[in-house]
Amino acid sequence: MAVSNLKCRECDATYPLEARYACEHCFGPLEVVYDHSHLAGGDVGELRRRIQAGPQNIWRYADFLPLVDGAPGPSGRLASRVGLPAGCTPLIRADRLAQRLGLREVWVKNDAANPTHSFKDRVVSVAASRARELGFHTIACASTGNLAGSVAAYGAAMGLQSYVFIPADLEEQKILSAGVYGTNLVAVKGTYDDVNRLCTELSAERDWAFVNVNLRPYYAEGSKTLAFEIAEQLGFELPDRCVVPVASGSLFTKLAKGFGEWQDLGLIEGSLPTMTGAQADGCSPVAQAFAGGQDFCVPVKPDTIAKSLAIGNPADGPYALDVARRSGGSVESVSDEEIVDGIALLAQTTGVFTETAGGVTTATLVKLAESGQIDPDERVVLVITGDGLTLEAARGTFATHEIEPTVESFEALGARNAAEAWAR
Ligand SMILES: Cc1ncc(COP(=O)(O)O)c(C=O)c1O
Ligand SMILES: [Zn+2]
């Protein structure tokens, strides 16, 4: 067992590995600490082979995850044989996108290829497994959309009760793709920040594992597996830059933690990739703080089509700012129009149809390329965190040619114009 305890990120106070998320002394957030001394100082090749021999899912990184019994499952069996394995999603070389942007090497990490179509399956796998270790029978969450589907699905797969709390104005596709798993779906009349506040209150009253509230330290660790996979898929090498969507800032921060843990063990060499955070103009508290040179975020009221990133008061905002600054990166924001263009550009150059969060990420890469903020020779990884479930965002990005079922009708379209449109 590599996991040792919880530690306050602000004052270093330590705590046992309980369902606890805030420091009693300073209210700082708690983080999981590991003891990797049994892995350090040995043969790096051996350690790499040990990882490569693991299951084709996130549990190949069990040495770096906060499960006391190692990889979880009933009677300690590998999680890959139970539940809903997440991870090992494709890293796709995107030469057509790179060419369009005047860049040399762009990779798309397609985390839409997870069981419920977003990277949230990584964090929920870890949190739900830890919830079971801690003896909880109910998992719950405050969600901007994707977490809802993931918690509902893992509850179903693992035989746990689930409650998911969402803002009432969520996209219908996200509601349908959570409700189908037979969860208790609660639509709250308010913003995500209202939902989160309610869930924080409820977590003090109920004996439930709120994956992103009282189990947040464990939940957040699941995002590190995205960093491990990127490095492993690049042959245990680091990219020069990662472009990553930011809502609460947890994914962005934990990607850096994951790279750091592997650097410490010599599994990968080089410095932390330049970390570029991506937000929507209509909810950009971290980008605004970055631009203003502040180390804290001023909460905002979200107004954007990127609802999955619509967190106005980001819990990990200060840590995300720190990661951006110490990696030589930045946190950028893009307009709703640019998000739609980003979705279409990614789809039309790579065949990957992402949701609005991926539109934010792609549009941010476009912005970096067009403004010359990126060296054309950099090896860039674009982190695509969710599938095109936000279908409405694709409306207007293409034309449909309606005809009678006759050759004449088709030819009347003006085959030349149509061919041009279709060849794009
Ligand atoms: C698709 C998608 N991408 C990225 C994020 C950002 O996650 P975080 O809150 O860890 O910054 C979310 C979270 O809500 C999401 O749903
Ligand atoms: Zn503290």
3-class DSSP string for 149-185: HHHHHHHHHHCCEEEEEEECCCCHHHHHHHHCCCCEE
Q: Over 24-59, what HEC string results?
A: CCCCCEEEEEECCCCCCCCCHHHHHHHHHCCCCCHH
Gap from CA of 107 to ligand 1 centroid (Å): 19
Q: What is the pLDDT of residue 424?
A: 45
Gap from CA of 225 to ligand 1 centroid (Å): 15
Give, using CA atoms, the residue closest to atom 7 of ligand 1: 247
Q: What is the pLDDT of residue 235?
A: 98
Which stretches of the chain score pLDDT less than 70? 1, 70-82, 415-424
Question: Contact, 130 vs 103, CB < 8 A?
Answer: no
Q: What is the pLDDT of residue 208?
A: 98
Gap from CA of 247 to ligand 1 centroid (Å): 5
Question: Contact, 331 vs 287, CB < 8 A?
Answer: yes
Question: Contact, 96 vs 350, CB < 8 A?
Answer: yes
Q: What is the pLDDT of residue 80?
A: 45
**Which of 144, 316, 356, 364 for a ligand 1 pocket mutation test, highest count of atoms within 8 Å of Cβ?**
144
CATH architecture, domain 91-117+223-394: 3-Layer(aba) Sandwich (3.40)
- 177 C-beta closer than 6 A to ligand 1: no
For residue 105, give the DSSP letter: E
Domains 91-117+223-394 and 120-220 share a fold: yes
**Which of 308, 323, 339 for a ligand 1 pocket mutation test, highest count of atoms within 8 Å of Cβ?**
308
Q: What is the pLDDT of residue 78?
A: 54
Residues 6+ apart with CB under 8 A from 404: none
380 beta partners: 106, 241
52 vs 278: CA distance, rounded Å: 31
385 vs 319: CA distance, rounded Å: 20
**Which of 117, 193, 309 for a ligand 1 pocket mutation test, highest count of atoms within 8 Å of Cβ?**
309
Structural domain spans, the chain: 91-117+223-394, 120-220
Query: Minimum-distance ligand to the CA of 20?
Result: 2
The alpha carbon of 202 is separated from its chain's Cα centroid by a whole number of angstroms, namely: 25
Q: Tell me the CATH number of domain 120-220, given options 3.40.50.620, 3.30.470.20, 3.40.50.1100, 3.30.70.580.
A: 3.40.50.1100
Gap from CA of 349 to ligand 2 centroid (Å): 47
Gap from CA of 50 to ligand 1 centroid (Å): 30
- 118 C-beta closer than 6 A to ligand 1: yes
- 357 C-beta closer than 6 A to ligand 1: yes
Gap from CA of 400 to ligand 1 centroid (Å): 32
| pLDDT tens per residue, range 356-385 | 999 999 999 999 999 999 999 999 999 999
